[in-house]
Amino acid sequence: MELGQDQAPAQPQPQAQPQGQAQPPAASDQNPGTVSVQARLRMRREQRRAQAIKDAYSHLYEAYVGMGYLRFAPGQNLQHVTYYSWDAEFTRFYGPRLGVTIGGRGYYGSPFVGNNFSSITRPAVSTYAVLGGPEYRFYMQPKYSISGRVMGGWALGNFSGDTNGFGGERLGLWPDGSTYAVTGGLIGEYNVSPGFALRLAGEYFGTGFGSTMQNSFGFTGGFVYRFGKQ
């Protein structure tokens, strides 16, 4: 039978999805190839970072030379003097983090002892120390690290050499002699290259001149040279 001009052919009706049937997964908005490239880039960055850390902190030895500043009590009733110092150290590492340091340093200053019978108001005094102890790197990055350390040893004080024979004790200074020395500090190092770094360290320095305890605080800064492979 022929369709009339006003009669349109029947359109197929969409079939209803049965209830409970799983829907087809939607197309992913992220290209799997892009994810793979990003993962490879992250992996390469981590590999470069790990290699840079290994290059910087796998050296067997570390030598340091620098200068320092310390506020020191030169006598029982005298005001603190500004000590300027040189500092030389050598560290042997037993892994990327743990090392043992030995070093020597010298401190120099001119404390004010007040007006007195000798007319000497600012004699030159000095202190020398030999120290050793453990050092530990607790934070390491390719460009910088943070370490802590404690050391103990021996200190020698020269407080009367510039008193024209009057003696340091008569001017209120500590008596000449040797005593114990202890120190603890926090060390920051910036790596210019794997084998060369700049250091800045805050430090506590304790001594026992005059049978008393001198609690001094200061800092050191200088250059680090690393060499040898673990």
Residue 4 lies in a domain: no
Residue 71 lies in a domain: yes
In the prediction, which pLDDT does 84 show?
Answer: 97
Q: Which of 8-17, 66-75, 210-219 has the lowest mean pLDDT?
A: 8-17
Residue 204 lies in a domain: yes
Residue 8 lies in a domain: no
Query: DSSP for the chain?
Result: -PPPTTPPPPPPPPPPPPTTPPPPPPPPSS-HHHHHHHHHHHHHHHHHHHHHHHHHH-EEEEEEEEEEEEEE--STTSPPEEEEEEEEEEEEESSSSEEEEEEEEEEEE-----S-TT--SS--EEEEEEEEEEEEEEEE-SSEEEEEEEEEEEEEEE-STTSTTS-SGGGTPPPSEEEEEEEEEEEEEEEEETTEEEEEEEEEEEE-GGGS-EEEEEEEEEEEEEEEE-
Averaged confidence pLDDT in the chain: 88
Residue 25 lies in a domain: no
* Structural domain that includes position 193: 33-229
* Per-residue pLDDT tens digits for 85-122: 999 999 999 999 999 999 999 999 999 998 878 788 89
Overall domain count for the chain: 1
Query: Which CATH number belongs to the domain containing residue 56 in this structure?
Result: 2.40.160.20
pLDDT confidence tier of residue 147, bands split at 50, 70 and 90: very high
Residue 1 lies in a domain: no
Residue 223 lies in a domain: yes
Does residue 12 register a pLDDT over 70? no
pLDDT confidence tier of residue 3, bands split at 50, 70 and 90: very low
Does residue 1 register a pLDDT over 50? no
